With several copies, the nearest count.
Chain A
């Protein structure tokens, strides 16, 4: 079982969700985040004050999948979320030691 975390652009969420569902992913959890990276921020001006906003709005997906699906899920995300412009985001994969479904107490792959 792996957890895939993908930081993507806001407006790609719907497409990525649909593509992942089509690829057989059953669930995911989404968080609103702000990201800092190579993508240049923008300037904001409020009367006398000028700020450079480095943290740009992004969306983070967390998707837990069986090991064998990691490749396909990652590839799907890359394919759909890519625009080719700086700021498309990152994917991080982590090992999970346990997964449980609260409703049933099921564990492992059947918990997904």
Chain B
């Protein structure tokens, strides 16, 4: 009962405030809705059933893609990562992924989507408040005028666009967990991720994907404006910069600032359950079809191309990494095969909608070989990127951004009539790609550094030595992963 007094009363007050917002959602319709006169003909279609421009196939594909991208975070990434840590931290890693599914979703609905996709404020640094609390995103109905409206984003409801993008907002910070695994304080992780999502992810997503983003190769001109193209129209189909560079580079900063795990370099710290890692990798592969294929935002040939290119890049990455191990170390490992698949998936992410699937094979091979090498960097430079979030996502993402400028082709991009990539003779695109990657790296480094420094002094970044030795499962969450005995 103490709990009810403690929590429910003050809590419910806030809830009902929110509930009222949810409810009052219906009223703005009056302002925005067209008069009923618009459709005087017999039996006008209820927009709540079939809004204008609505396409069922596109909607189906985007619903599935959203589900697939959620599945990437958990069980996908959660298993991929948690298999790589020691047994005593298995829940710590899973919890980070799972909790972020809750946390980032709510933030995205409250203000994240607005910061990323609403029209420019701050000179284009981020979006404004137009979509705050999902205003203008959710369906509305006005009892007075009997007018209902379902806001659209192309051929799908805007709320579907919102939830699809939400899944990216979840997985991106979850990728960073790989760097600070086995030692970061859970409470600090939560605060860090909120701030990181707000100040790093949302702006970059805005630059790259919002209608007038200054890095958006598919810039949508404001009617009447003389500007019809972004200053640096970078190709980033599904998030090479937005997702992989920002997270991978921030991961490196985290690894450097937090320092090594206790006992690192002395005790062996082998993956405690490679079967999980392999299952996770396979689920990531499957989910990535939604990640890249869904980034077409419709069920069209572009989505098909992205799907095929994605699959072939993953396949080629698998062979390249495992093959490199086989040649150089005598044995192909399953961790190598899985890492190669992920490297291939990362590299094709920005490119999937603008390169041929055959180029996907080439890019996958390059990524497999380069990321294989990049995972040795930490030994040379002595930082502890526990699960190689930088080695795979930072390096692979940057590589992908650049190679997209090499392999992009007009053959797969609807509406393009000019040469696209270097191989088609257009050397300018690669400049845009480098600019896009560069600014993403800069904001990731600077932003993450500032956030970590502040949080370090305010609440501390690492768990106590005692807690780290005991493992995060028991010390942070009061649980054990496996009780087999």
Task: List residues of A whose CB falls within 8 A of some B CB.
Answer: 11, 14-15, 32, 34, 42-49, 51, 53
Q: List 8 A-B contacts (CB under 8 A).
A: A11-B469, A42-B470, A45-B329, A45-B333, A46-B479, A49-B270, A49-B379, A53-B268
Please judge, given known A-B contacts A11-B469, A34-B485, whether A46 and B271 are in contact too, CB under 8 Å: yes
B266 touches A14 (CB 8 A): yes
CB-nearest residue of chain A relative to B265? A49
Please judge, given known A-B contacts A11-B469, A34-B485, whether A45 and B268 are in contact too, CB under 8 Å: no
What mask results when residues 450 to 485 of chain B are scored 1 for a CB within 8 Å of chain A, else 0?
A: 000000000000000000011000100011100001
B443 within 8 A of A: no
A51 touches B336 (CB 8 A): no
What mask results when residues 260 to 303 of chain B are scored 1 for a CB within 8 Å of chain A, else 0?
A: 00010011111100000000000000000000000000000000
B375 within 8 A of A: yes
Query: Which residues from A are CB-within-8-Å of B329?
Result: 45
A47 touches B263 (CB 8 A): no
Nearest Cβ distance between residue B464 and chain A, in whole angstroms?
Answer: 13
Point out which of B268, B335, B375 has the most chain A C-beta atoms below 10 A from its C-beta: B268
What is the bound-complex CA distance between A48 and B376, given in angstroms? Answer: 5
What is the bound-complex CA distance between A44 and B481, given in angstroms? Answer: 11
Query: Which residues from B are CB-within-8-Å of A47?
Result: 335-336, 339, 375, 388, 391
Q: How many of chain B's residues touch chain A, expressed as a range?
A: 20 to 34
B270 touches A51 (CB 8 A): yes
Nearest Cβ distance between residue B4 and chain A, in whole angstroms?
Answer: 16
A44 touches B485 (CB 8 A): no
What mask results when residues 312 to 356 of chain B are scored 1 for a CB within 8 Å of chain A, else 0?
A: 000000000000010001010101100100000000000000000
Query: Which residues from B are CB-within-8-Å of A14?
Result: 266-268
Query: Which residues from A are CB-within-8-Å of B263?
Result: 11
B325 touches A45 (CB 8 A): yes
Nearest Cβ distance between residue A35 and chain B, in whole angstroms?
Answer: 13
Nearest Cβ distance between residue A83 and chain B, in whole angstroms?
Answer: 9
Beyond A42-B470, A46-B271, 16 additional contacts (C-beta under 8 Å) are A11-B263, A11-B267, A14-B266, A43-B478, A44-B270, A45-B329, A46-B270, A47-B339, A47-B388, A48-B391, A49-B269, A49-B270, A49-B379, A51-B270, A53-B268, A53-B480
What is the bound-complex CA distance between A15 and B263, given in angstroms? Answer: 10
What is the bound-complex CA distance between A92 and B306, given in angstroms? Answer: 65
Nearest Cβ distance between residue B216 and chain A, in whole angstroms?
Answer: 35
B378 within 8 A of A: yes
A45 touches B478 (CB 8 A): yes
Query: Which residues from B are CB-within-8-Å of A42?
Result: 470, 474, 478
Nearest Cβ distance between residue A21 and chain B, in whole angstroms?
Answer: 15
Query: Which residues from B are CB-within-8-Å of A53?
Result: 268, 480
B267 touches A48 (CB 8 A): no
What is the bound-complex CA distance between A63 and B329, given in angstroms? Answer: 34
B479 touches A44 (CB 8 A): yes
What is the bound-complex CA distance between A43 and B331, given in angstroms? Answer: 11
